[in-house]
Structure 1
Amino acid sequence: MLRMGMFGRCLAAAGLSWFACSAFAATGGSPVGSTNVTTADPAVPRPPGQPCVVQLFQDDVFNDFGTRPYSYTPPAGCGTKWAKVVLEADFSVTAGVQYDRTASIWLGGVDLYFGTTEEPSSTVAPSWHVERDLTDYSALLRNAGQGQAILWNLVSSTYTGVIHGSAKLLFYPASARAPAPRVPDQVIPLGSDPVGSVTNLATSTDQLSKTLTLPRNVVHAYLDVFAQSQNADEFWYTCVPDQYAAAVQECGGGNFREAEVSIDGQPAGVAPVYPWVYTGGIDPYLWRPVTGVQTLNFMPYRVDLSPFAGMLSDGAQHTVALNVAGANNYFSTAATLLVYQDSHSSQVTGGVTRNTLAGQAPTPTIASTLDSTGNGGITTHLKRHFTIEGYVDTSHGRVKNTVDQTVGFADTQTFTINATTYRQVTDQLTSMDGTSSSSDGSSYTQHVSYPFRLDYNEQVAPDGSVAVATTVAQGYRLDRSTGFFGFPLYADRVDNTVDSADTLDFDAGGNFTGHTGQASTQAFAYRDTLGGCYRGGVGSAAGAVTAYTRGKGCPGGQNGVYWFSHPDGSSWQGDALTGW
């Protein structure tokens, strides 16, 4: 149960601005009956006042494998410190045939957006809207630069869907009602492309890395990580260890994936990999019109590297790197280093005093009960607890930073294989529980879990026709809290679930004859200790929206969250709340 501390009651009493948070629907009103993309995800809350708007690109056409460059200039007359910065992007694809495509937006090598697209049909031309809170990237946005949108798309006589896209940045000026939060002093991409692009990692040893010399007064550092499965790795969550692949007729390489962060070759942190399913994944009808969790708009995972701040401030070159354990061709990755500096000292000193992650290889334990015909189960488990400590001698004294985390991965795959049945049930749970704390009294605790269940059931009828019934259940659960010397300041909770089902039908010749039973639901819930509440729900059947709710379960049946909150699950470390 979330508890409201004194700090939360004081903020509420101060009358801080409230924002009624809406969901992304196909239309401005109720989308019931619509076949267009509809999700229950919340929009990014906004502070009061009119934003300054910078258009990045407008109605670009994505019909080839080229990039779409643009020039960026900060908004004139809008200051250099903002209460909030929000990216808004709108995409659409014409009716026809087209694969799901990966989309990303870049500026100065930094990833501003990462996601995939909706697949169209012969009668539906989907359109959708995405948003991302980029306030922590304000240092990047204060300077002019070059950017590009990347959305590779093949258009031919077969693949006819043409994708269009627009994107803009909205800058909300700081005010007495909405002060500018403390944000990182530097925003540094790990990629080598000066404008920006993903780095593909085909194996566990491939790396996205950068060797750099940081300022000599770093006090905190974080790394925002994206790791998206591609190609043979797209369905990594269904794969099995190589020795069982032939028996169960599945991809090899195992089903454990985890992003690993290192500094100068020393393990420095872990980012769990989310099992995103794209709109062409497994059965495309599963995701029309309700997409999977975060399918159109990935959330990065933020890794706390603050124990290394003193070491990073020594004036020497250091290599920050990312790899994906278990990668098996391949993962597309992007990472951004966020650095906070000591504003009252040009040079700090320090070092790493403890790192128990070093020496703990990400090697899962695998067991099998498969028989000679491929029936039975395969389990894959890995659990690691580690503590990393370091100190920094700052302008206000020595500060010890500690990251204490437990990372878990548990997967069970069960197979039933005979002359008329091929069934694979995947139950997977990725989790992370951890606390970042400093000797100055501040602490941040986060509990993350990614439950995932896939039931793929292929049945052959006596006449040789085949029915493939699939159900998928995804979850994204996040609990966060910040405190000061053990006193709770603020906490919030995100719970996003999607459940989808469909059955594909094929004749005895393997020709697709139709599908039945399409149904899906999404439930999105958020609350915080200031009384903020968001609830969104959407249901569909036969490819059309059948139910859509907003605010049900919140006080007065209305959604309402504060402008500085993060109901979408985007990262915060407490600075946006306590930095003023």
Structure 2
Amino acid sequence: MLPNRFVGRCLALAGLSLTFACSAFAASASSGPTGSSNVTVADPGVPRPSGPPCVVQLFQDDTFTDFNTRPYSYTPPAGCGQHWSKVVLEADFSVTAGRQFDRTATLWLGGVNIYFGTTEEPSSSVAPSWHVERDLTDYSRLLSSAGNGQAIIGNVVNSTYTGVIHGSARLLFYPASIQAPAAQVPDAVYPLGGDPVGNTTELDSSTSQLAKTLSLPRNVERAYLDVFVQSQNADEFWYTCVPDQYAAEVQECGGGNFREAEVSIDGQPAGVAPVYPWIYTGGIDPYLWRPTTGVQTLNFMPYRVDLTPFAGVLSNGSPHTVALCVAGADNYFSATASLLVYLDPHAQQVGGQLVRNTLADQPPTPTIGDTLQQDASGNVTGNITTNLSRHFVIEGYADTSRGRVQTTVDQTVGFADTQGFTINATTYRQVTDQLTSVDGVSRSRIGHTVVGEYREKLSYPLHLDINEQIAADGSFTLATIAHQDYRQHSAHQLFGISVYSAKVGNTVDSADTLDFDASGNLTAHNGQHSTQAFAFHDSLGGCYRADVGTLNGVVSSYDSGNGCPDHRNHVYWFSHPDGSPDNGDIVPVW
């Protein structure tokens, strides 16, 4: 749709000996030979250890033609042991040729989200199909018991919207072995949503909440929250909106363009999750995303919030309410979150408390400025700026069987946005430059000794140049240039020793021009081209690189492995080249 204006796995411990070997595999992106008009992306699959997996089919070739859920039952794989080195969700989707909107797609089990993404829009001549994967290893405890799940892809099929969506999904379990030991996974997974099978919660405004009151075990020693917040409806193009006081002058959606997910425990701010500016396959100009979609469009990555400073509080035997809201939400965001909890295996009771929280005194209130000028003819030029930067420290301790563990989360979160406008009788041009960033460290101490440290830097650059030119006869063109980026740098230390680091980069650049007649009917488009570059490397020598180019709706170039040793992708089975969270499952061995 157009915007409203246009309608501790196998770590190489430096100086320490490894107790088991590391397996590797040659990761591959979606195949897409030159000339293909089918969905082609550069994203890596989820790496796995060697050996055949146990497979559980969740559903097979289900048809999505309405807004009813598609339920399924789940039973853990027989004869595959109770502990797995890796668990991977694989799903395949397709939509028949015709007309159809992009649709939100979610998969659930026992109230917990196991996949979140959107679908590709078809065309009259192309029936796209695509494949997605998600690393669910950290959800192994959820998957160790039978349960009920459901697939939700709300869709309308009638004489106008003819595209029928089909889908299949399965879980692959890789048994633990000497080469690929069982993952150190959370002991429990709790969904925040109220649906026992699973569904998203609608957050209409900044005060709307996804909340769950939980009575947790009394021996919690670490906790994390995996967060998804997806823009919908009037908020779909939140990144182009402006503060209400400027909306009429620049002819844009109001409500501002600052969005950020806020996490709280018992009403106290507990963490922040940045909002990625995903653009769906019908977004702005659908031709921009055929056949290569925007960053993560088909397969969102969750953001993991470290709540470990609250471990002692969560273990006190009282019910606690964990909640999520979206600052700036303006009808609306779809939200889901899962609480991942690690328990002390040698203690029935963990004591402790929160000792410092500077986030509590820093509300998410951005600074707004402008350089707009309007002349006597009503022509408007200038910029609107929105900025917010917060540095906060949250610190707490837990009295565990290992002693008192003091955990500190130290983060700086930033949002910087400039909207530039040129508006006159023949031009409406809006240029958006936005940067969301996180720079943080989670550090655990016993006494004066730092036993574990996890650092992460994230940045989400977005550039949009939307340029409408109006001819004398009333016809007009709409030219769009889009640049999306996802940058992640993570690093782990144990006892002051750097043991692992990794970098992920995912960049998509797209351009296209739409032609409209004086009645606003689309008559043609031209100049479509795009590139995607995906790069991953880590301190163990793991490397993945893939590049895709498109021209006029078909793949014009495709390369995989160029830039890696021997021009070959090679990543370790325990790594996260897709940018999915890893700080919860690489566990300090103290």
Shorter-chain TM-score: what band?
over 0.9
4+ long deviations beyond 4 Å? 8-15, 577-580
Q: How does 1:266-345 map to 2 (within 5 A)?
A: 266-345=268-347
- 1:155–1:579: structure 2 CA closer, same or farther, 3 Å change rule? farther
Matches within 5 A, 1:65-464: 65-372=67-374, 373-440=379-446, 441-464=451-474
The verdict on how the C-alpha distance between 1:156 and 1:574 changes in structure 2, with shifts beyond 3 A counting, is closer
SS in 2 for 1:556: helix
Q: 1:527 pairs with 519, 533, 537, which one? A: 537
Which amino acid in structure 1 is aligned with residue 273 of structure 2?
A
2:380 aligns to what SS in structure 1?
coil
Q: Whole-Å Cα distance in 1 between the matches of residues 161 and 364 of structure 2? A: 40
Distance 1:579 1:438, change over 3 A: closer
8 Å CA contact retained: 1:130, 1:296: yes
Q: Could you say what secondary structure the match of 2:586 adopts?
A: helix
Match of 1:513 in 2: 523
Deviates more, 1:503-512 or 1:196-205: 503-512
Specify the SS of the correspondent of 2:80.
coil
Per-residue deviation, residues 167-193 of structure 1 (Å, max 9, x unmatched)? 000000000000012100000000000
Q: Match of 1:154, as an amino acid?
A: V
What's the CA shift for 1:25? 2.4
Q: Map of 1:11-90 to 2, 5 A cutoff? A: 15-26=21-32, 31-90=33-92
1:510 to partner: Cα distance: 1.9
SS at match of 1:490: strand
CA deviation profile, 1:541-568 (whole Å, cap 9, x unmatched)? 0000000000000001000000000000
User: What is the CA-CA distance between 1:156 and the residue it aligns to?
Assistant: 0.5
SS at match of 1:25: coil
Relative to the length of structure 1, the TM-score reads: 0.97
Deviation at 1:574, TM superposition (A): 6.2
Q: Choose the corresponding residue for 2:505, options 480, 488, 495.
A: 495
Distance 1:15 1:213, change over 3 A: closer
Summarize the Cα distance change of 1:12–1:396 in structure 2 as closer, same or farther, 3 Å threshold.
Answer: closer
Cα shift at 1:511: 1.8
Distance in 2 (CA, whole Å) between partners of 1:224 and 1:283 is 31
Unaligned residue ranges in structure 1 (runs of 5+): none
Amino acid at match of 1:342: D
Equivalent AA in structure 2 for residue 571 of structure 1: P
Amino acid of the structure 2 residue aligned with 1:438? S
Judging changes above 3 Å, is the alpha-carbon distance between structure 1 residues 343 and 14 closer, same or farther for their aligned structure 2 residues?
Answer: closer
* Inter-partner Cα distance in structure 2 for 1:120 and 1:237: 25
Measure, in 2, the Cα distance between the counterparts of 1:170 and 1:113: 14
Hey, what's the Cα distance between the residues in 1 that align with 2:481 and 2:299?
Answer: 22
Give 1:344 shift: 0.2
On the 8 A contact 1:12/1:530 being kept in 2, the answer is: no
Deviation string 1:474-496 (CA, Å, 9 cap, x unpaired) is 00000000002322110000000
Q: Using a 3 Å threshold, how does the CA distance of structure 1 residues 506 and 179 change in structure 2: closer, same or farther?
A: same
- 2:154 and 2:18 map into 1 onto residues whose CA distance is 46
CA contact (8 A) 2:20 2:179 kept: no
The DSSP-based 3-state class of the residue aligned with 2:420 is: strand
Give the match for residue 556 of structure 1: 566
Deviations 1:309-351 (A, max 9, x none): 0000000010000000000000000000000000000101000
Secondary structure class of the residue paired with 2:524:
strand
CA RMSD of aligned residues (A): 1.5
* Matched position secondary structure for 1:295: coil
C-alpha separation in 2, matches of 1:462 and 1:347 = 77
Q: 1: distance between equivalents of 2:362 and 2:428? A: 37
* 3-state secondary structure, aligned to 2:150: strand
- Cα pair 1:211 1:319 within 8 Å, conserved: yes
1:526·1:534 contact (CA, 8 Å) conserved in 2? Answer: yes
Please say if 1:474 is aligned against 2:494: no
Q: Is the 8 A contact 1:181 1:579 kept in 2?
A: no
SS in 2 for 1:439: strand
- The whole-number CA distance in structure 2 between the counterparts of 1:185 and 1:12 is 25
Change (3 A) 1:173 1:253: same
Map of 2:551 onto structure 1: 541
- Using the TM superposition, name which of 505-514 and 217-226 deviates more: 505-514
Q: Deviations over 1:419-468 (max 9, x none)?
A: 00000000000000000010041000000000000000001123332111
Name the SS for the 2:540 alignment partner: coil
Query: Identity of paired residues, percent?
Result: 70
**Equivalent pair of 2:21/2:180 in contact (CA under 8 Å):** no
SS in 1 for 2:138: helix
Matched, 1:7 2:17: no
Q: What residue identity is the alignment partner of 1:67?
A: T
1:469-519 alpha-carbon deviations (Å, 9 max, x no partner): 001000000000000232211000000000000000012232211000000
Tell me how far 1:15 sits from its aligned partner: 4.5
State how many pairs are aligned: 573
SS class of match (1:392): strand
Q: How many angstroms apart in 2 are the aligned matches of 1:199 and 1:13?
A: 44
Query: CA shift at 1:48, angstroms?
Result: 1.3
Deviations 1:80-139 (A, max 9, x none): 110000000000000000000000000000000000000000000000000000000000
What amino acid does structure 2 have at the position aligned with 1:233? D
Alpha-carbon contact 2:534-2:545 (below 8 Å) kept? yes
Whole-Å separation in 1 of the counterparts to 2:559 and 2:16: 31
Unaligned runs of 5+ in 2: 1-10
Distance 2:198 2:580 in 1: 21
